[in-house]
């Protein structure tokens, strides 16, 4: 099969694969600093590098479609007619791909009036006849017909890196017909992407069956009268369509080709051209993967791949425990409820070791534990918190975490997707992990043992850390990384490990109440329309509201008209109906019931809920919480609020204490803007919204009505989110003019805020990023987008990121301060939760006053702002009572 003596011809459908790459890689993450999108180029080049390396073809060509029609559209103008227009970001990448091909020395071919597939078909035949092994790479199913013993199709399953090999056997297995019969099958079934309808009621199974019985399409059509059943009648009704389909899906194999097969010989890349192209496209890691394709005679300055670090397992324990750091560490294991660790890997850069934890004697484990728990041994991991949990399951309290390549990669660019090790290695080192997709267990090959794999991974993490440290330093985020994010890992790990106690009975009561209210509301809703519908189905609700009841249309959404709460409230105002009222009540109760159910099912055997906090999700730098999310427990409605009564102080502790920042984002805005009026308001300690309301409406603070206050409050917060007068008007249900007037008045009194908001966006556009108080950067390339909508969104992001991000910085610093203070004072009380501007602490007996003091002091001390940071503290036996 892999006989290397035969020449190999690699044939690629350029558009098809570039298109796949375009949709596989988010365009917003791939652009040059000048805003040229490069995701399709990147994905295509990456795929090509892999193919060249794996298959080492002697000949290669990439075929392109040309603009304008083909003989197929001449025959049938609607051919491929349903295809959406290509996205504007895609088009400009096609010439770039041709440039890359040129640099790599890979032939690009095209032909007027024919599709790339026809060129592939013709070259496949020519290659076959020349005795070559042929590989066709295409995402177009029509190319299945090319498969023979000599021609293998590589068809993308997902993205462009996951290619399925279609050999003759694989085609039969997948479709139940031979590759040469596939066009017959496709003609019957139809091809949506080509806008060729098939025979209604006939799917691949039926088509394959018929082909088996009658030997092929001709046989089927000759015997059409005898084909039984409904499908048979359907076939007879669509014979013309089927014939047309078959005519169009036949690929031309005898084209006059622009280059001979011999001309396609691959002679290798041109080093200078590859460097030029990579410079222009700002490809860093891809450069390293493309350069090996350079032929030896032009390869003078090609840096060599660093040698794979040798992994030692024999005598690893003794070697590792003798190390005093710094090292990179990898833990093979699971996190979560069934946490466990079974192997670790350690690397110093020159050398790596792997240790099987399951095979250690008691004495060995003691010695390893001492090393892992030694704070003086500096360790860098990828996802250190996960490693901590896995080791904690074995009673090991990992210490000395001084680096985390996952957190580091997030700081470098928070808007990228995927911070699992495989993705980050790929991104920064160009290392491709095999076996399993990103996110799955990483397998860098070599040896099957977990210990060996751990050692190899540790070595990779070490190389990654060196790269990322430099990137972080370049961006001025070293102190944020070393002094905030890294120390926070241990704090979060302990919070997750502690969990928060839940009173299951109380939770059960709330669930019962919600269920009863939901049932009642549902009954009333059915009564109101004289029948049952699924109240949880927006689709069915649309049918009831807008068709059966003929209500006025609400705002448009992708699938019709919205049935969300605000739309329903509008409807109720315009055309009152008992159904609407019951529906809203049902929504409310059902949602609560659902939340409670999720929480109840998350309670572990210890009677506590252990959420998982992530430092690498929210681009602004906030934490996120999941499984379950404890940062969105209801508070606004009475019934929702009562859920918090089920979060209680645990056994052995006395109270829960909550401490939250008062109006933290407004204070940060006052600080960042330096607006004297706003700063004065906070310094005076007045009610902010009353103070602002007085200025905006030109009345005495005492004369600010509750209504004025709430309007001003909405506006103040809205400004930090980039709210428009339109949005404010809608939120306040006032005319746009009134909202605009309010904003004008606001800016007239608080000019510093207006100037700040303007400056922050302009500066971000200039330098490409925003920055928080602690120097956290967020890159926002869309600020220079020519697409109005994208740019508008980017501007709102730029407004909000420094404010929300600075608030995140401050509370993270506060958490570190609280942690240190609790420890320094030898207290048993512990932090349990963080909800963006609030901390929840479980207080041990006799520590109440000390804890309250620590919280207040540390939260105050987190920021040195031009306005005071107010902190509210509350206590109680449950979360609701502790709140305020």
Piece of the chain touching DNA by CB under 7 A; list 2-10, 120-128, 282-290, 798-806? 798-806
Question: Does residue 634 bind DNA (CB under 7 A)?
Answer: yes
Question: Does residue 789 bind DNA (CB under 7 A)?
Answer: yes
Q: Exposed (0-12), middle (13-18) or buried (19+): which is 783, by Cβ within 10 Å?
A: buried
Classify each residue of 859-879 as buried b or exposed e, where b means 16 or more C-beta atoms within 10 Å of its C-beta: beebbebbbebbbebbbbebb
In whole angstroms, give the CA distance from residue 743 to residue 729.
11
Question: Does residue 312 bind DNA (CB under 7 A)?
Answer: no
In whole angstroms, give the CA distance from residue 128 to residue 9.
9
Integer-rounded Cα Rg, in Å, for the chain is 32
Question: Does residue 835 bind DNA (CB under 7 A)?
Answer: yes
Q: Under rule CB under 7 A, which residues in 494-553 are in contact with DNA?
A: 534, 536-540
Among 28, 270, 588, 842, binds DNA (CB under 7 A): 588
Shortest Å distance, C-beta 836 to DNA: 3
Question: Does residue 797 bind DNA (CB under 7 A)?
Answer: yes
Shortest Å distance, C-beta 723 to DNA: 4
Name 591's Cβ contacts closer than 8 Å, sequence gap at least 6: none
Half-sphere exposure of 354 (CA within 13 A, CB side): 23
Piece of the chain touching DNA by CB under 7 A; list 238-246, 427-435, 493-501, 583-591? 583-591
Piece of the chain touching DNA by CB under 7 A; list 136-144, 161-169, 211-219, 625-633? 625-633
Among 46, 145, 380, 625, binds DNA (CB under 7 A): 625
Contact criterion met (CB below 8 Å) for 302 and 289: no
Half-sphere exposure of 10 (CA within 13 A, CB side): 22
Shortest Å distance, C-beta 108 to DNA: 30
Shortest Å distance, C-beta 81 to DNA: 18
Question: Does residue 838 bind DNA (CB under 7 A)?
Answer: yes
Question: Does residue 633 bind DNA (CB under 7 A)?
Answer: yes
In whole angstroms, give the CA distance from residue 426 to residue 73.
41
Piece of the chain touching DNA by CB under 7 A; list 31-39, 160-168, 225-233, 586-594? 586-594
Shortest Å distance, C-beta 840 to DNA: 12
Contact criterion met (CB below 8 Å) for 781 and 769: no
Cα 775 vs. chain centroid, distance in angstroms? 24
Question: Does residue 594 bind DNA (CB under 7 A)?
Answer: yes
Q: Exposed (0-12), middle (13-18) or buried (19+): which is 66, by Cβ within 10 Å?
A: middle
Among 315, 636, 638, 702, binds DNA (CB under 7 A): 636
Residue number with CB closer to DNA (402 or 625): 625
Q: Which of 613, 612, 621, 614 is nearest to 415 (CA)?
A: 621
Residue number with CB closer to DNA (321 or 423): 423
Shortest Å distance, C-beta 570 to DNA: 12
Q: Which of 872, 863, 477, 871 is nearest to 671 (CA)?
A: 863
In whole angstroms, give the CA distance from residue 117 to residue 130.
20
Question: Does residue 73 bind DNA (CB under 7 A)?
Answer: no
Site pattern 321..340 for DNA (x: CB under 7 A): --------------------
Question: Does residue 233 bind DNA (CB under 7 A)?
Answer: no
In whole angstroms, give the CA distance from residue 49 to residue 60.
12
The DSSP 8-state label assigned to residue 553 in this structure reads: P
What are residue 624's DSSP bridge partners? Answer: 614
Site pattern 712..741 for DNA (x: CB under 7 A): --x--xx--xxxx-xx--xx----------
Phi, then psi, of 364 in degrees rounded to 5: -65, -40
Shortest Å distance, C-beta 730 to DNA: 7
Among 631, 740, 763, 866, binds DNA (CB under 7 A): 631
Shortest Å distance, C-beta 641 to DNA: 7
In whole angstroms, give the CA distance from residue 807 to residue 814.
11
Task: Measure the CA angle with vertex 54, ends 52 and 60; round to 5°.
Answer: 30
Question: Does residue 793 bind DNA (CB under 7 A)?
Answer: yes
Residue number with CB closer to DNA (313 or 562): 562
Among 16, 347, 563, 831, binds DNA (CB under 7 A): 563
Residue number with CB closer to DNA (118 or 665): 665
**CA dist 183 to 138, 156, 176, 223, Å?**
16, 19, 13, 19
Shortest Å distance, C-beta 664 to DNA: 8
Shortest Å distance, C-beta 853 to DNA: 23
Question: Does residue 413 bind DNA (CB under 7 A)?
Answer: no
Contact criterion met (CB below 8 Å) for 602 and 628: yes
In whole angstroms, give the CA distance from residue 216 to residue 226.
15
Residue number with CB closer to DNA (220 or 801): 801
Binding site for DNA (CB under 7 A): 534, 536-540, 556-559, 562-567, 587-588, 591, 594-595, 597-598, 614, 617-620, 622, 624-629, 631-637, 640, 714, 717-718, 721-724, 726-727, 730-731, 788-789, 792-793, 796-797, 800-801, 804, 835-838
């Amino acid at each position: 099969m892999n006989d290397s003596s035969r020449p190999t011809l690699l044939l690629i459908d350029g558009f098809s694969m570039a298109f796949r790459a375009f949709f596989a890689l988010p365009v917003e993450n791939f652009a040059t600093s000048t805003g040229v999108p490069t995701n399709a180029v990147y994905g295509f080049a990456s795929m090509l590098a892999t193919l060249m390396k794996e298959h080492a073809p002697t000949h290669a060509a990439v075929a392109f479609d040309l603009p304008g029609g083909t003989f197929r559209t001449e025959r049938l103008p609607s051919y491929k007619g349903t295809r959406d227009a290509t996205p504007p970001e895609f088009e400009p990448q096609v010439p770039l791909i041709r440039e890359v091909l040129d640099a790599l020395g890979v032939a690009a071919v095209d032909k007027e009036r024919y599709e790339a597939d026809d060129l592939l078909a013709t070259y496949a035949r020519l290659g076959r006849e020349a005795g070559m092994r042929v590989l066709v790479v295409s995402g177009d199913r029509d190319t299945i017909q090319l498969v023979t013993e000599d021609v293998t199709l590589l068809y993308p399953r997902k993205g462009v890196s996951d290619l399925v090999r279609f050999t003759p056997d694989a085609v039969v297995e997948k479709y139940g017909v031979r590759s040469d019969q596939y066009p017959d099958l496709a003609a019957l079934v139809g091809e949506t992407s080509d806008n060729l309808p098939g025979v209604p009621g006939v799917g691949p199974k039926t088509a394959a069956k018929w082909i088996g019985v009658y030997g092929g399409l001709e046989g089927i059509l000759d015997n059409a009268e005898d084909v039984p059943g409904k499908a048979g009648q359907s076939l007879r009704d669509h014979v013309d369509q089927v014939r047309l389909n078959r005519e169009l899906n036949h690929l031309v194999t005898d084209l006059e080709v622009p280059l001979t097969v011999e001309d396609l010989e691959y002679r290798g890349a041109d080093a200078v051209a590859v460097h030029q192209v990579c410079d222009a496209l700002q490809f860093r890691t891809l450069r390293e993967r493309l350069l090996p394709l350079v032929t030896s005679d032009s390869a003078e300055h090609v840096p060599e791949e660093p040698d794979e670090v040798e992994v030692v397992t024999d005598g690893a324990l003794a070697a590792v425990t003798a190390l005093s750091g710094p090292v990179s560490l990898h833990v093979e294991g699971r996190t979560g409820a069934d946490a466990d660790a079974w192997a670790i890997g350690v690397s110093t850069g020159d050398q790596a070791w792997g240790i099987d934890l399951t095979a250690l004697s008691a004495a060995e484990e003691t010695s390893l534990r001492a090393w892992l728990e030694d704070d003086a041994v500096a360790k860098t991991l990828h996802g250190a918190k996960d490693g901590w949990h896995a080791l904690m399951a074995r009673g090991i309290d990992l210490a000395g975490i001084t680096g985390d390549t996952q957190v580091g990669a997030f700081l470098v660019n928070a808007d990228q997707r995927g911070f699992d090790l495989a993705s980050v290695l790929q991104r920064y080192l160009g290392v491709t992990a095999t076996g399993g997709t990103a996110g799955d267990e990483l397998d860098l090959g070599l040896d099957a043992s977990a210990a060996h794999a751990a050692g190899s991974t540790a070595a990779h993490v070490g190389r990654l850390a060196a790269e990322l440290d430099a990137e972080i330093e370049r961006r001025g985020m070293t102190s944020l990384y070393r002094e905030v994010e890294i120390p926070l890992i241990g704090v979060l790990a302990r919070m997750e490990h502690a969990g928060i106690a839940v009173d299951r009975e109380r939770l059960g009561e709330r669930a019962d109440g919600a269920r009863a209210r939901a049932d009642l509301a549902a009954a009333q809703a059915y009564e109101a329309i004289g029948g049952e519908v699924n109240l949880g189905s927006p689709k069915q609700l649309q049918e009831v509201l807008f068709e059966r009841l003929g209500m006025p249309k609400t705002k448009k959404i992708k699938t019709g008209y919205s049935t969300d709460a605000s739309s329903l409230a509008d409807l109720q105002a315009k055309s009152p109906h008992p159904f609407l009222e019951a529906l809203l009540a049902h929504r409310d109760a059902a949602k609560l019931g659902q939340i409670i159910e999720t929480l109840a099912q998350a309670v572990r055997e210890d009677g506590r809920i252990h959420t998982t906090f992530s430092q690498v999700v929210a681009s602004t730098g906030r934490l996120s919480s999941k499984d379950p999310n404890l940062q969105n427990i209801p508070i606004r409605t009475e019934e929702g609020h009562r859920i918090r009564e089920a979060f209680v102080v645990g056994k052995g502790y006395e109270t829960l204490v909550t401490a939250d920042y008062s109006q933290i984002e407004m204070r940060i805005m006052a600080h960042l803007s330096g607006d004297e009026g706003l700063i004065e308001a906070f310094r005076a300690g007045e009610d902010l919204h009353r103070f602002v309301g007085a200025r905006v409406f030109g009345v005495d603070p005492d004369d600010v009505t509750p209504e004025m206050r709430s309007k001003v409050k909405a506006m103040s917060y809205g400004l930090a989110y980039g709210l428009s007068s339109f949005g404010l008007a809608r939120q306040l249900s006032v005319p746009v003019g009134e909202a605009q007037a309010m904003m004008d008045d606001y800016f007239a009194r608080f000019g510093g805020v207006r100037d700040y908001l303007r400056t922050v966006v302009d500066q971000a556009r200039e330098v490409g990023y925003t920055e928080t108080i602690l120097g956290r950067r967020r890159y926002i390339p869309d600020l220079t987008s020519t697409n109005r909508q994208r740019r508008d969104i980017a501007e709102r992001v730029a407004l909000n990121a420094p404010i929300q991000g600075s608030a995140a910085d401050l509370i993270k610093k506060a958490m570190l301060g609280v942690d240190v203070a609790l420890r320094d004072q030898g207290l048993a009380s512990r932090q349990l939760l963080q909800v963006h501007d609030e901390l929840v602490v479980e207080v041990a007996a006799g520590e109440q006053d000390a804890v309250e003091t620590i919280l207040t002091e540390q939260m105050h001390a987190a920021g040195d702002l031009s306005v005071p940071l107010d902190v509210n503290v509350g206590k109680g036996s449950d979360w609701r009572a502790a709140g305020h």
